[in-house]
Chains A and B, each alone.
Chain A
Amino acid sequence: MRRYLLQRLGQALLVLLAAYTVAFVLLQALPGDAVLIKFLGSEMGLTADQIAELRIAYGADAPVWEQYLHTLGRFLAGEFGYSIRAGVPVASLLAENIRPTLVLAGLALAAASLLAVALAVLSQLGFGWVRAVVRSMPPFFVAVPVFWLGIMLIQVFSFQLGLISVIAPEPWEELVLPVLTLAVPISAPLAQLLIRNLDAILNEPFVAVARAKGATHAWVLWRHAARNALPPTLTMAGVLFGELLGGAVVTETVFGLGGLGGLTQQAVANQDVAVLQAIVVLSAAAFVAISLAMDLLLPLIDPRLATRPAGAA
């Protein structure tokens, strides 16, 4: 087990290095740089010589490979450099934005999971038309545009029903609508996958055996089907969570929330290389951590998956 963990950790570091390198190359390939974008504007009134001096001060004039090694060295030391746009350390920018993003993504994923499980259970235990309606929900959910959903929720809950105040909301109030907005579209693939897996599992011979023991539909669903349907759904949830960390831009914008999504969008607009570089590595780290967590978690649910790491230990 220990050897397996060390192996996986080594792989994770390689993935991070690769992500860092690819991001670095792509960002270097962009025409112009952040210094030019910030200071070339006519309103600054700087001369070409002054800009050249600034470029030297920011290290933008050094050869590419030197910049690569230099920033890599600093990354390894935990130093992410300065945002050229905001003039503050990247680390503090990230720290400021990570918390709201984690809270938002975590709550959204939890809400989406609840929604998906509810749909999946109804799709199996509901009767007649209920099943049919429930089964048509996931495609519908995924088709709803996020910005529209966000605006509609504000319209209905805040302006018409007056349940959630828009001006100076409580911290929890501020989160209800954005969490809902994010949860609806990500619940769709989760629900779809759960429903499909449950359908397949309920056709398995071991379910017939369970029913022959006298088990009811509900018993079979909870005690047999659920645990078998879980692993693929968890994997999917992990990927969705990773995407949420940097991908909630629209929701953040609609609801005026700070977060990594917005930060990324600004950094791209301004070619704020240091910030982008840090965000890329951070996202890669998040994905690596999630997949490692899944690999350690799934064998606990499905013992057949445990054979490989046990053999490697």
Chain B
Amino acid sequence: MNMDIALRPAPVAATTAAPLLEVEDLAVRYVSGGTARRVVDGVSFSVAPGEVLALVGESGSGKTTTAQAVLGLLPPNGRIERGAIRLDGTDISRWPERRLAALRGARISLIPQDPTTSLNPVRTIGAQIAEIFEIHGERDRGRIRARVLELLRRVGLEPAEMRARQYPHQLSGGMRQRVLIAIAVALRPGLIVADEPTSALDVTVQRRILDLIDELRREEGTSVLLVTHDLGVAIDRADRVVVLRNGTVQEAGPVRQVLAAPRSAYARQLLRDAPSLATPRVRPPLPEAASIALRVEGLTHAYPVTGEPGRVFRAVDGVGFEVRAGTTHALVGESGSGKTTTARCIAGFLRPTAGRVLVGETDVARLSGEALRQFRRQVQLVFQNPFASLDPRQTIAAIVEEPLRNFDPIPRAERERQVRSIIERVGLPDSVLGRPPAALSGGQRQRVAIARALVLRPRILVLDEAVSALDVTAQARILELLDELQRDLGLTYVFVSHDLAVVRLIADTVSVLRNGRVVEAGAAERVFHAPESDYARELIAAIPGNTQGARMVAA
């Protein structure tokens, strides 16, 4: 495989120059409803001028809180208990809001996590870039406009004049992240805090965005505090890594050192869990004799184009594949590839314009009404976002029980027994049954969503980006669970994902989708190691942490 990303060379002056940012013994506490919780406890690190330092950890590790404290933007119930945050030698941790405001944007700036919600929907792109100049005292409209256009061109948004007039909803996620990067570098700050800057983006877009940040950083000699749950991203982009867990530093050091010889058990586990670094479990050979559980033939789904009568947009265009019972077939592609539309057609939530979806002898595409409702027992769907897919007002027990109430009447006691058994099956304690979803972590919620899908004993599970919203650690545990359930219950999975690294860990066979068509299909290992299409090659190259060095060490 052609690997063109090399490990970054260590910055020349990293150890000798005075640090730009020094965080010393930082402790942060949240107070909610009378109880205080310490989320950051004695964290220390420093960032040299021009250096990239990655804060790595799972959700709840305190990495985002640390970054917010550096920016002086803790939520209202957050307090810095002790410690110092020194910028160029001055402790800013006790500064009043007004002084901090003057600092933000000018000397420390932010690249946020989710570009889709991080721009004001009712103001133009140009106005939102111009704003940072206005806030920091620039009055000359002509100069501001010139700078805005220059920045737009610099981050690759052309034609700049048109982009400046557009609103956020008219731009893709990757383009919006470019706008946010333009804002972050506008005043040439010394430090950029990048809080999971690409977690919400497709892998290929992710790579281009990280390249852009790298390039701009190098030009200006800016330091970057990179917050990420993905060790792969940290390995590719950082000089040094600080591994956090439960608000304390587990390990810190140069990337090479942490990667080659992790000293803490937790860092070792993170390395194992990162999908791009993990060694795929050897999957049992495909049972040749197994029957075909799902066959998709010539699936096409077309939407009429708004405002242009007669024109249609084919979200899915002639997709076909088959899945043997008890195996996992992955649909891989970026946003707009048609993978989710395909999944929804299989689950019977969308009626395809043409083609067949055969589950056993049944053509899902022809079902409607009561027959379709009964069919749902056989194919269940698990959604991407476990925060949105569970009713916040129901208890876990009620959520898992609901599918049972929709079909043949079952006595209450029997329903309760089934709910308990499935909750245990997905590895959750009984004690969650009476709680609302809000009391659970992301990984636990996704277990609930899987339990809800399995309680009807379906034959096929359609998993739509089911682990994409989770951090690597939770992701690894859910993948293990899915594997175990498949072996024990003989389930067939359709696994939709944009992440080839994850797909490689769980899938037997793969269809790579682009613009609604299958561009490559085959056994997962084969596609991963010897991709035939340029597009699959591009997807694989974009996987973070997928560097020669990283793979050598991990293997």
A residues within 8 Å of B by Cβ? 204-206, 208-217, 219, 223-224, 227-228, 301-304, 310-313
- Using known A-B contacts A208-B73, A209-B180, A214-B106, determine if residue A303 contacts B117 with beta carbons closer than 8 Å: no
- Give the nearest-CB partner of A207 in chain B: B120
- Give the nearest-CB partner of A216 in chain B: B101
Q: Is the CB of B73 within 8 A of A205?
A: no
Q: Is the CB of A303 within 8 A of B122?
A: yes
Q: Is the CB of A215 within 8 A of B73?
A: no
Within B97-116, which residues are at the interface with A (CB < 8 Å)? 97-98, 101-106, 109-110, 112-114
B306 part of interface (Cβ distance < 8 Å): yes
- Shortest CB-to-CB span from A310 to chain B, Å, is 8
The listed residue (A214, A301, A304) touching B103 by CB distance below 8 A is: A214
The listed residue (B110, B169, B183, B193) touching A304 by CB distance below 8 A is: B169
By size class, the interface of chain B is 20 to 34
Q: Is the CB of B98 within 8 A of A213?
A: no
- Give the nearest-CB partner of A306 in chain B: B167
Query: Which of the 9-residue segments B128-136, B401-409, B491-499, B524-532 touches chain A?
Result: B128-136
- Give the nearest-CB partner of B73 in chain A: A211
The listed residue (B114, B119, B121, B136) touching A214 by CB distance below 8 A is: B136
* Chain A residue contacts of B114, Cβ below 8 A: 205
27 contacts between A and B (CB under 8 A): A205-B117, A206-B117, A206-B118, A206-B120, A206-B121, A209-B180, A210-B120, A210-B131, A211-B73, A211-B104, A212-B73, A212-B105, A212-B193, A213-B109, A214-B102, A214-B135, A215-B101, A215-B131, A224-B120, A224-B123, A228-B120, A228-B122, A302-B122, A304-B121, A304-B169, A311-B307, A312-B307
Q: Is the CB of B307 within 8 A of A206?
A: no
In the assembled complex, the Cα of A214 lies from the Cα of B133 at a distance in Å of 10
Q: Is the CB of A208 within 8 A of B104?
A: no
B73, B114, B122: most-surrounded residue (chain A CB, <10 A) = B122
In the assembled complex, the Cα of A213 lies from the Cα of B128 at a distance in Å of 10
B462 part of interface (Cβ distance < 8 Å): no
- Using known A-B contacts A216-B101, A311-B306, determine if residue A227 contacts B131 with beta carbons closer than 8 Å: no
- Using known A-B contacts A204-B117, A214-B102, A228-B121, determine if residue A209 contacts B167 with beta carbons closer than 8 Å: no
A212, A228, A301, A310: most-surrounded residue (chain B CB, <10 A) = A212
Q: Is the CB of A212 within 8 A of B120?
A: no
In the assembled complex, the Cα of A215 lies from the Cα of B136 at a distance in Å of 9
In the assembled complex, the Cα of A215 lies from the Cα of B132 at a distance in Å of 8
In the assembled complex, the Cα of A228 lies from the Cα of B136 at a distance in Å of 23
Q: Is the CB of B98 within 8 A of A216?
A: yes
Q: Is the CB of A206 within 8 A of B119?
A: yes
The listed residue (B110, B113, B119) touching A212 by CB distance below 8 A is: B110
* Chain B residue contacts of A302, Cβ below 8 A: 121-122
- Shortest CB-to-CB span from B111 to chain A, Å, is 9
In the assembled complex, the Cα of A224 lies from the Cα of B104 at a distance in Å of 17
* Chain A residue contacts of B270, Cβ below 8 A: none
- Using known A-B contacts A206-B117, A214-B103, determine if residue A223 contacts B73 with beta carbons closer than 8 Å: no
- Shortest CB-to-CB span from A233 to chain B, Å, is 14
Q: Is the CB of B113 within 8 A of A205?
A: yes
* Chain A residue contacts of B105, Cβ below 8 A: 212-214
In the assembled complex, the Cα of A212 lies from the Cα of B136 at a distance in Å of 12
The listed residue (B103, B169, B180, B193) touching A303 by CB distance below 8 A is: B169
Q: Is the CB of A303 within 8 A of B104?
A: no
In the assembled complex, the Cα of A216 lies from the Cα of B100 at a distance in Å of 10
B105, B114, B193: most-surrounded residue (chain A CB, <10 A) = B105
In the assembled complex, the Cα of A311 lies from the Cα of B306 at a distance in Å of 6
B423 part of interface (Cβ distance < 8 Å): no
* Chain A residue contacts of B109, Cβ below 8 A: 212-213
In the assembled complex, the Cα of A36 lies from the Cα of B102 at a distance in Å of 79
For the complex with contacts A304-B122, A313-B307, 14 further pairs of A-B residues with Cβ separation under 8 Å are A205-B118, A206-B118, A206-B120, A208-B73, A208-B112, A209-B118, A209-B183, A212-B104, A219-B135, A224-B120, A227-B122, A301-B122, A303-B167, A304-B121
- Shortest CB-to-CB span from A32 to chain B, Å, is 51
Cβ proximity bits B125-144 to A, threshold 8 Å, 1 near / 0 not: 00000011001100000000
